[in-house]
A and B are shown apart, each in its own frame.
Chain A
């Protein structure tokens, strides 16, 4: 209650009159659409290509770009050979048990572990020395490694990870991103055979599909170009 009778009414009327001239908040929906919020980055979703396989190349660019580091990813690499994961093991659901084991000091069995070819790492050590063990020069290191071995052996990648201190996942992501880097010797048929051996279901399916479509079966792997 104000002292002057009618003052409240006058102030209310003044308020509505002011509102009358103010810009309106309505968005005419079908014609106009509100811009998404400034930091909206879309929906996180794994997409499948037309053959029903995951399009994700596990390059970890999304995880590196994520400003709040909400992306943990892990699983078999694109060749189905060994585990790659991004993120601390503690936060990573599939690896929680493993993490507990590791803290208990026991040896951790990795169900995805597959013994890989032993290669002579002397050449790699020379390359690393030359590049000063600098993780920031990862691409040059990887290119030099591929020049030395003809491809990027898993043992070499692990060694790079140990020596430079970069996460294995980071190295793996860099290597998968550049199409001129490869993980197998440039031998498509051997690689395809290996693929068939490791993932027989998919190989059979693809062969059957190629026959059914009466065309050439698609190249097994995008990277097998040589």
Chain B
């Protein structure tokens, strides 16, 4: 054995790791710096020249990645909220308040056996959940999350939304047909009948809104609703909102219209033969759908990312830290100390039993919270998209909560009631809404030609 080998053997495990990792890191960082220095300008030029493509790729990536925490959050909400409504506690073991349980569910689904029944068409069988999932995810591309935060501002955004969203039926039919199972096929047909029936009132309910807005670009529709919350379309289209919400519930296969997989009553329909992650994708799609439907409701009728009222006190944040000069350095050094002591003092005073180090710790945490709140407030006031995203997400999750709430409350309807309701009530109501809106617009234009 050589000298090197003997010295290597004498090293402990951390020593071995350090001796290998440090040179590798040095080599990697040096080569990275060299690559940036040599090729950086070229790459930046390339990206700048193809900005639309870059934007599209980034948007698709972000949207795809965004669906994962969204679905996990909604699944957790569903478990927790319904449990609380049942006077149970719900998940509370994994993570704070059980919030990581949906992650565990996801891992469980990943580890399960992915089974393909004999006689199934493997290609179609595999791609059916992907089609369903992608049909949901792709609709996210046109939804404006905040000013400047959207995948593409299509001038036919709403049409794109309904067109791509309608593709999920294809996925359901593919799943039902390729499973080589009568129940799956019947379930697939059942879901197709439901989804297509409800697509008609769903689409018709927003036509009145399109007449009002004069555009199908979702971004423009949101911009039209800026200002006070009375400008939201919900106050001009109350019937439209109702029809849209009910039809969207059926479209997303949510209770009380979850006939596609009435798990407690009939065979789970198109998903009967699925297992593992392919099964998981259907449910991923369902929960993403819930988010999307809520987001679209907010976008169309509830002002999107607009705050319900304009900020009444205009704040001029003329913060320029550079002006302070050396004072900035002193400020950075002293302010945390002052804040910590300032927040620790009341804790220390309030009870003699609190030791000084505990008071200081509490003061430090409170000071951090305070600073974070201040930074958040500055960001909210100063940066437009932060406020927009906050309002949009807040409103969207109110509707997500409503969906979960409905699931915790309403019993499932029968299939004939479902169809009757779509064709005999929702469709005439949607037409009524459309005609009344059109007539009102005509009257308004003739009375007040502008």
Contact = CB atoms under 8 A, between A and B. Distances in A.
Interface of A: 9, 12-13, 15-17, 19-20, 22, 24-26, 28
A26 B410 contact: no
A87 B4 CA distance: 94
Contacts of A13: 405-406, 409-410
A17 B410 contact: no
B276 interface: no
A87 B167 CA distance: 83
27 contacts: A9-B409, A9-B410, A12-B409, A13-B406, A13-B409, A13-B410, A15-B409, A16-B85, A16-B405, A16-B408, A17-B85, A17-B405, A19-B84, A19-B86, A19-B87, A20-B81, A20-B85, A20-B405, A22-B87, A24-B84, A24-B89, A25-B88, A26-B87, A26-B88, A26-B89, A28-B89, A28-B92
B409 A24 contact: no
B84 A20 contact: yes
Given A9-B410, A12-B410, A17-B405, A24 B88 contact: yes
B87 to A, nearest CB: 5
Interface in B382-423: 405-406, 408-410
B417 to A, nearest CB: 14
Contacts of A16: 85, 405, 408-409
A26 B98 CA distance: 15
Interface of B: 81, 84-89, 92, 405-406, 408-410
A105 B257 CA distance: 82
Given A13-B405, A19-B86, A26-B89, 14 more contacts: A9-B409, A9-B410, A12-B409, A13-B409, A17-B85, A17-B405, A19-B84, A19-B87, A20-B84, A20-B85, A24-B89, A25-B87, A26-B88, A28-B92
A20 B406 CA distance: 13
B120 to A, nearest CB: 40
A90 to B, nearest CB: 49
Contacts of B86: 19
A19 B82 CA distance: 10
B115 to A, nearest CB: 35
Contacts of B88: 24-26
A9 B245 CA distance: 15
Contacts of B87: 19, 22, 24-26
A22 B89 CA distance: 11
B27 to A, nearest CB: 52
Contacts of A24: 84, 87-89
Q: Specify which of A17, A20, A28 lies most central, judged by the most chain B CB atoms within 10 Å of its CB.
A: A20
B1 to A, nearest CB: 56
A18 to B, nearest CB: 9
Contacts of A22: 87
Contacts of A26: 87-89
B402 to A, nearest CB: 9
A28 to B, nearest CB: 7
A20 to B, nearest CB: 5
B238 to A, nearest CB: 13
A19 B89 contact: no
A17 B408 CA distance: 10
Contacts of B410: 9, 12-13
A159 B409 CA distance: 76
A154 to B, nearest CB: 63
Contacts of B85: 16-17, 19-20
Contacts of A19: 84-87
A13 B402 CA distance: 10
A22 B84 CA distance: 8
A14 to B, nearest CB: 9
Residue among B81, B85, B89, B405 with the highest chain A CB neighbour number at 10 A: B85
A9 B408 CA distance: 12
A168 B339 CA distance: 82
Contacts of A15: 409
A32 to B, nearest CB: 11
Contacts of B81: 20
Contacts of B92: 28
B203 to A, nearest CB: 23
A26 B93 CA distance: 14
A24 B80 CA distance: 12
A8 to B, nearest CB: 10
A20 B88 CA distance: 9
A124 B85 CA distance: 75
Nearest to A25: B87
A178 to B, nearest CB: 49
Contacts of B84: 19-20, 24
A130 B81 CA distance: 77
Contacts of A25: 87-88
Contacts of B89: 24, 26, 28
A9 B405 CA distance: 12
A206 to B, nearest CB: 55
B38 to A, nearest CB: 60
B180 to A, nearest CB: 40
Nearest to A12: B409
A53 B177 CA distance: 76
Contacts of B405: 13, 16-17, 20
Nearest to B89: A26
A25 B86 CA distance: 9
A20 B401 CA distance: 12
B411 to A, nearest CB: 9
A60 B84 CA distance: 51
What are the 7 A-B residue pairs with the smallest beta carbon separation, nearest first?
A16-B409, A26-B89, A16-B85, A12-B409, A20-B85, A19-B85, A20-B84
Nearest to B82: A16
Contacts of A17: 85, 405
B373 to A, nearest CB: 27
Nearest to A18: B85
B89 to A, nearest CB: 4
A15 B88 CA distance: 15
Contacts of A20: 81, 84-85, 405
